Amino acid sequence: MNYFPTWGKAKEVKEQLLASAQAQARPGEDSTLSRSPKTNAQFSVTSKTGISTGRPSPRPSHTSSFKSSPRFSPKPQTPVKGKKLKGRLMKVIGIRRFAGSMAPLNSRPHVEYLPPGKEDQLRETAKQLMKPGLGILAADDSLRQIGDRLKTLQLDNTEANRRRYHDMLLGGDIYMGDYFSGVLIREESLASTRHLGDKLKEKSVIKDPNVSLGIRFDKTVERLVGTEREYFTPGLDKLQDACQRMRESGAKFGLWRCVYRISECTPTRRALTENSICLARFAVICQQSGLVPIVAPEVLSEGTHGYTEAQEVWREILTTLVKTLLDYHVYLAGTLVRVTPVSPGQCYKGAKDLCRGAASTMKILNECLPPALGGVLLARDENLSKSISILNSCQTCRIKKPFFVSFCFSLVIQEGVASMWAGLDKNLKKARAELMKRAKLCSLASMGQYNPPRGSVFLITREVIY
């Protein structure tokens, strides 16, 4: 489609403008407008005698005459050359085309922001969860995982045994508020621990009222079709109803986990985008329901990748996640991020250095996450010694920390406690004492005050490897 008029027509318009300027320069002539027989767009000037002068008027008007005006001064008009006229026409047509493609402000999509009262509530809850020296106990095992653990203790996977197991972790004379700011369990496990959830609101099971209840909402991961062993987390279609129910049950925060796999061709851009959108949608739904979201990207430990490859993958994951959170208008001050430390794969043949992993982790967090974020939780389920050493190294390394880094441990705390309990009521006191001992070590490491025993192979140094 040709958007520009022919240059012959432009020359004719130019001549009409020059003739009209000369007509206005003659004083005392009363002119009226009349249509020219040539085209509908042209006008000629007619005097009082009725004789047409043949001079085109400057522009059509609804009035019957032109009056003298300062706009039509008798100054000599500079003729417009061809290139100059062409430039003006292209400029006018370009502006009109650009203005036509611009959407008005009132036609932009509406964004529903959180009210100020709910933002204050989410921010205060996030601050309570991220108090220095306190972490989150992740008792978020599924029914199948609890059954496998009970099987190692030679117990049947029944509701009564699952209730005894949760009572060993959360009940009794344990003052969890000394080392934990929250407890994370699954929604499906809430049925067997309903008595604990009700008593939690009554402040009788957990003695400290500052300990918050959290729910892990993700169920399982599924294969992402069209990719090489990459996964996504389904279940967002029923999340809003679940958040409302858990909020009424006394929960204050929720967690959603997405996994990534490192290989020569993974993670792909599709997997990064799909999982980031999933975590952002979860955060929006949680905040609309009054829960603090904990978005948990996790890199699987399988593979032969080293520290450099893991660091680059984590940079891609976190930058994509932060951009998606901002695109979905997630309130960052009321959002927490749980990450796993930067570490090589299980089949990595090189030397493994915990200090290097801690320094790489803090460097990535400092580069990719905004300071407005509510906080960062560190998760690692390998063993207690390595987890505590990496957490302590993250606090003592010489890298700026715009936000507090705490812990969210699960197996490293429960594993030894469950084996010490062994399903016997007479071992409850001893198992709970071991739980508090492990929790105290994690609390000291979260503040950089953990001193490993002499002769330990996991010595903490202050050397930072960039």
Give the predicted TM-score (pTM) of the model: 0.72
Which of 106, 131, 150 is where one domain is finished? 106
* 151 plus 83 within the same structural domain: no
pLDDT in tens, the chain (466 residues): 444 455 556 667 667 777 776 666 555 444 444 444 444 444 444 444 444 444 444 544 444 444 444 544 455 555 555 656 656 666 555 544 444 444 444 444 556 778 888 999 999 999 999 999 899 998 888 888 888 888 888 888 888 888 888 888 877 666 778 889 999 988 877 665 554 445 444 443 455 677 888 999 998 889 988 888 889 899 899 899 999 988 888 889 999 999 998 988 889 999 999 999 999 999 999 999 999 999 999 998 888 888 899 999 999 999 999 999 999 999 999 999 999 999 888 888 888 888 888 889 999 999 999 999 999 999 876 778 888 888 988 888 888 888 889 999 888 888 778 888 888 888 888 888 888 888 899 999 888 888 766 544 333 333 333 2
Q: Residue 459 falls within a domain, yes or no?
A: no
Determine phi and psi for 324, rounding to 5 degrees.
-70, -40
182 and 101 belong to one structural domain = no
- 158 and 21 belong to one structural domain: no
Residues 144 and 86 in one domain: no
- For the chain, the distance separating the N- and C-terminal CA atoms, rounded to the nearest angstrom, is 58
Question: How buried is residue 224: exposed, middle or buried, by Cβ count under 10 Å (0-12/13-18/19+)?
Answer: middle
**Dihedral sign from CA coordinates of 55, 57, 62, 67:** negative
463 within a domain of the structure (yes/no): no
Structurally, the chain folds into a number of domains equal to 2
Residue 457 lies in a domain: no
* Distance from C-alpha of 131 to C-alpha of 404, rounded to nearest angstrom: 8
Within a domain: 346: yes
Whether residue 191 is found in the same domain as residue 324: yes
Cα angle 128, 203, 161; round to 5: 105
Range of the domain at 140: 117-446
Judgement on whether residues 131 and 51 belong to the same structural domain of the protein: no
199 lies in the same domain as 100: no
Same domain, 81 and 150: no
| CATH code of the domain covering residue 422 | 3.20.20.70
Relative to beta strand 43-46, strand 52-56 is antiparallel
Return the beta strands (E) in 336-433 as ranges. Answer: 336-339, 375-378, 405-409
Asked if residue 263 and residue 402 are part of one domain, the reply reads yes
Asked whether residue 361 falls in the same domain as residue 329, the answer is yes
Residue at 455 is within a domain: no
Identify how many contiguous H helices and E strands the chain contains and give both numbers.
13, 13
Same-domain check for residues 159 and 215: yes
* Domain assignment of residue 411, yes or no: yes
Is 233 domain-assigned? Answer: yes
Q: Are residues 139 and 85 in the same domain?
A: no
Asked, for residue 2, whether it belongs to a domain, the answer is no
